[in-house]
Structure 1
Amino acid sequence: MAEAGASMRLDRFLWFARLAKTRTLAQALACDGRLRIDGRAVDRSAAPVRIGNILTFAVHDRVRVLRIETLPVRRGPAPEAQACYQELTANVSQPSAID
């Protein structure tokens, strides 16, 4: 469990939380300028994320909106990864990693 005020690199969070299949894809998502943290566009993979941040990004023809609940300490199994964030998007189907 991360302590209050702790932060993590955006690309590392995306990979650990299984929102991207590889760290390279996580870096590409973070650098393409279409991902937002709390409404601010991000253009670098080293941008810090903290508990409570809202991530907004498009993947597979839909927009995902997530709130970071905890910072993961490893890339663990899917249930552990999904506990790191809460999906805020309405009518969500099966979550998928970025190809």
Structure 2
Amino acid sequence: MITVTSALCVWNGEKGSWHFLTVPADQAVEIRLATISPRTGFGSVRVEAAIGDVRWRTSIFPQKEGGYLLPVKADVRRRTEIRPGDEVTFTLDLV
């Protein structure tokens, strides 16, 4: 299990907005070592994420800097009452 604290960020694109949390490169070493075998599209890695008691399965996506992005859907944001800019502690388990 990997525990991270990160600010909830928003990326606005032409087709909508994405909310995500960042796993910094120094905390992503365990993920990279555990997923040396071929990954799925875009190099994504399947995980079970949790914020407090709210758990969901999703994929994290690699960043050029060596970290990963965890997308956070609207349902999860509502259930955990988090908003952009909030510092959020979350956990990841590789699936």
Q: Same fold (TM over 0.5)?
A: no
TM-score using structure 2 length = 0.34
TM-score for the superposition, normalised by structure 1: 0.33
Q: Which has the higher strand share?
A: 2
Greater relative contact order (Cα < 8 A, sep 6+) = 2
Q: Answer with 1 or 2: which has the greater Rg.
A: 2
